[in-house]
Amino acid sequence: MTTFKHILAKIEEYDTIIIHRHMKPDPDALGSQLGLKAIIKTNFPEKKVLAPGYDEPTLTWLGHMDNIDSKDYLNALVIVTDTANRPRIDGSDYMRGQFLIKIDHHPNDDVYGDLVHVDTAASSSSEIIADFAITLQLKLSDEAARLLYAGIIGDTGRFLYPATSSKTFAIASELRNYHFDFAAVARQMDSFSLKIAKLQAYTLDNLEINENGAARLILTQDLMKKFNITDPETSAIVATPGKIDCVEVWAIFVEQPDGHYRVRLRSKSHSINDIAKRHAGGGHPLASGANSYSLKENEDIYQEIKDLLKN
């Protein structure tokens, strides 16, 4: 793939490479970021490779972020993985580098970077990074394989979501040839704490569902304090409504400290990313994120979901 060769040429050209990903990371964000770092370090051990960002406590089993100084960006190559929109990039210094590459699987609505590789057919950015290494016959370490495998199963819901393709399975199969505890990765993805179990129960008890399968749940700051959970930890219940047979499209409204709501939108078959775009967000047709800045906007979003199913 021509773009892969161009990306490799840029990696070969620079002595310092800094890899960013999106804020509030999920396994694919970290898997693609840290997986790419591991690939570069294995094939080019003399290069300085840094992965900055917030150390999300619930995902430190994947890896830790690097401390970084603004001076590190001087004459550096910057690569951003798994981040569709510039405002979502974790770290404002990403523009300080000499050359910027975007690698992503979300719709390319915000075109940024000197070199862009966006593959919306890929299940995840981790799949793209693994494909990059396999296609160009780069050496993969066991740790890189573990990280990329975790990113793939994270974004595919362990191969349950529609974005899972035969290519996804082929790449996962290739990664499985490396030595890491794949069962432990799956268990880590599937396990949650007692407080999250209680939040799951609350979700099932309090989910609002209309006659056409539109559903919503609102998590206020007070409720999150009651359950002693953080915003990233609420991601554990995002898939829960979809396990109910009569639910077709759902929204999880998570109140932020400043009063606005982070909105996680999911669907079984109806495209919902246009709704997300109308509310300061975006994403995939069946999995998107948005923002709401008032209780009225919460109602507007839920009404749009109901209208989508009604029509």
Q: Which tens digit of pLDDT belongs to each residue from 79-123?
A: 999 999 999 999 989 999 999 999 999 989 899 999 999 999 999
* Same domain (yes/no): 184, 66: yes
* Identity at 161, one-letter amino acid code: Y
Read off the pTM: 0.86
Instruction: Evaluate if residue 2 carries a pLDDT over 80.
Output: no
Strand ranges in 21-104 using DSSP code E only, listed in sequence order: 48-50, 77-81, 99-104
Domain enclosing residue 92, as ranges: 2-190
**CATH code for the domain in which residue 293 is found:** 3.10.310.30
Taking Cα atoms as reference points, which of 279, 195, 186, 184 lies closest to residue 237?
A: 195
Question: Do 129 and 224 fall into the same domain?
Answer: no
**Residues 219 and 160 placed together within one structural domain of the fold:** no
On the question of pLDDT at 36 being above 70, the answer is: yes
pLDDT of residue 147 exceeding 80, the answer is yes
Give the chain's mean pLDDT.
Answer: 95
DSSP labels, 273-287: HHHHHTTT-EE-SSE
User: What pLDDT is stored for residue 1 in this prediction?
Assistant: 54
Cα angle: 245, vertex 247, 248; to 5 degrees: 110
Does one domain contain both 182 and 217? Answer: no
Same domain, 271 and 176: no
* Residues contacting residue 167 through CB under 8 Å, at least 6 positions apart: 122, 127, 131
Residues paired with residue 116 on neighbouring β-strands, in sequence order: 102
Confidence of residue 5 (pLDDT cuts 50, 70, 90): very high
The number of domains in the chain is 2
Contact 222, 187 (CB under 8 A): no
pLDDT of residue 191: 85
Q: For residue range 190-224, what is the model confidence (pLDDT) as tens digits?
A: 888 999 999 999 999 999 999 999 999 999 999 99
Write down the pLDDT at residue 238: 93
Using the 3D structure, point to which of 137, 159, 190 is the last residue of a domain. Answer: 190
Give me the mean pLDDT over the 268-280 stretch: 94
pLDDT at residue 189 in the model: 87
Determine the pLDDT at residue 66: 96
